[in-house]
Structure 1
C-alpha cells in the first residue's frame, strides 16, 4: 500500500459477516479505528475481539440502518468515540432473487429499505463529518459503496435487486460530482459472484433452481473485495478510483 490509515476512522456497515467483516479486518490492519455496524451484535463482538487481539481498535454498534434515527446515531457514536470520521464503507445489503411475477412484496420492500434507504440515511449523516475530515491536513476522505455486477448486467430473476444496484450506481456518480471539489472521494465497487452468506437469504426453492448456473462457477472471496476496498482508500489524495468491477476468473456474468 502507498499509504497507511493510522489516525483515521472508518465506519463499515454490514460488518457482521462476508465482505463487511473482511473489510473491517483489512482496514484495521492498516491502522484505522473501525466502527462495526450491523444488527447481529454477537457476530460484531467476535469480530471486534479479532481486531483487538491483532492490535487494532474496534467499536461495536448494533443498529438497523433502515431506521433513519439509528443510522444517524451510529455515525454520531463513531464520531464521539474516535473524534471524527474519514471513511464510510456502505456494504450492508441483501439479495433476494426470484421471478417478479411470484415475488413476495415484503422481499422487495426489504431490499429497497436495506440496499437503498439504509445507505442513504448513513451517507447523509456521515457527509458533514467526511467533509470536515477532507478539509484537514490529510486532504481526503472516502465513501465506498459496494454495488454489484447486477447493477450493470441485470438478469432474469434479479429485477428489484438489480434496480437497487443500478440506482446505487447513479447515486454514487452524482454524489461524486457534488463533493469531489471538496476532496471527498466517492467510489463504487461492483463485485461479481462472491462466496458469502448473501446466497442464504434467497428462498430455498429459488436457490435450488439457480444452483445449476453456479455449479461450476469460480466465486470470489470476501477478502478479494476487502483488498480492493483497502486499495481504493489508501491511494494518494490526488487519486480517485471512481468505479471498479471485480469479476472471478472465467466468469460468464
Structure 2
C-alpha cells in the first residue's frame, strides 16, 4: 500500500474516503476532486500503474492519498482493502462504490461471458463494498455509502438490457440499504448520464459500439459527477442526499 499525507483543510472537516474503480473516468475525477476538497482518499482499482499516476497528481498538489490494487469481484480482496484503510487511518468515513463495466450488446448476441462480468463487477462488487464497510460504519455510529449507478437504472434501451439490469439492481440495493440503516449512516445514489469515460471501450459487439458513438455525441466531463459526489458528502450530518441524476443538458 502506498500512502501520502495531506492537510488541505482542518482535520475536523477532512474525511477518509474510499473510492473503487479509481484509476480512470468518474473514479479518477472523484479522487482528484475529493482530495482537493481536503479529504484523504483511499483508491482501489486493478490497474496499479494508472492508480500510481492518479496518486502522483494528488500528492503533487498536496493532497492525501493511499492506493491499493483490488478486484471488486473478490470479496476477500475488498474486505482487505477496507480493513487496511481502517488500520492505517483509524476509520473510514465514506465509500464510493464506483467500479463498473459496460460491454453492451443485444441479448441475441449471446455474449454470456460479458453478461457475467457485468453482474460480477456492477452488482457483486457493490455488495462486497457494502459488506466490507458496513460493520465499520456501525461500530463508529456513522458513515456514508455512495453508489455510482447510471441513467440506465431508470431507463432500458436496446443493447443495454443486461447493463441496465445491473444498474437497476445497484439502485435497488442502495435504496434498500438506505431504508434499513439508522439515520446516522447516510446513503446516496448518483446516476450519471453520458459521461466522458473509458466505459464504452469495453464494448466488443460491433452494432452496440456503433450505436454508442451516436448516443455519446453529447457528454459531460467526469468531474461533473465528482462535483455531485463532493456535494453529497459535504452536507451536514443530518442532511442525507439520497439520489441525484446528473446528465448532459442535451440528453433527453
What are the residue-to-residue correspondences of 1:105-116 with 2, within 5 Å? Answer: 105-116=112-123
Shift of 1:143: 0.5
Shift of 1:6: 3.6
SS in 2 for 1:170: helix
Measured in 2, the distance between the counterparts of 1:250 and 1:4 equals 40
Equivalent residues, number: 243
Distance 1:199 1:92, change over 3 A: same
Q: TM-score, normalised by structure 2?
A: 0.92
Measured against aligned partners, the alpha-carbon deviations of 1:5-27 in whole angstroms (never above 9, x if no partner) come to 74420000000000001101111
Shift of 1:81: 1.4
Measured against aligned partners, the alpha-carbon deviations of 1:93-116 in whole angstroms (never above 9, x if no partner) come to 001111101131100110000001
List runs of 5+ in structure 2 lacking aligned partners.
1-9
SS in 2 for 1:25: helix
2:153 matched to which residue of 1? 151
Distance 1:150 1:6, change over 3 A: same
Measured in 1, the distance between the counterparts of 2:115 and 2:172 equals 19
Measured in 1, the distance between the counterparts of 2:55 and 2:116 equals 31
Q: TM-score, normalised by structure 1?
A: 0.91
Q: Is the 8 A contact 2:35 2:63 kept in 1?
A: yes
Q: Is the 8 A contact 1:5 1:31 kept in 2?
A: no
Find out whether 1:36 has 2:38 as its counterpart.
no
Q: Show structure 1 runs of 4+ deviating over 4 A.
A: none
Q: Is the 8 A contact 1:5 1:27 kept in 2?
A: no
List runs of 5+ in structure 1 lacking aligned partners.
none
Measured against aligned partners, the alpha-carbon deviations of 1:16-52 in whole angstroms (never above 9, x if no partner) come to 0000011011111111111110000001011111111
After TM superposition, the structure 1 stretch with the greater mean CA deviation from structure 2, 147-156 or 199-208, is 199-208
What are the residue-to-residue correspondences of 1:92-111 with 2, within 5 Å? Answer: 92-111=99-118
SS in 2 for 1:180: coil
Q: Is the 8 A contact 2:104 2:205 kept in 1?
A: no
SS in 2 for 1:101: helix
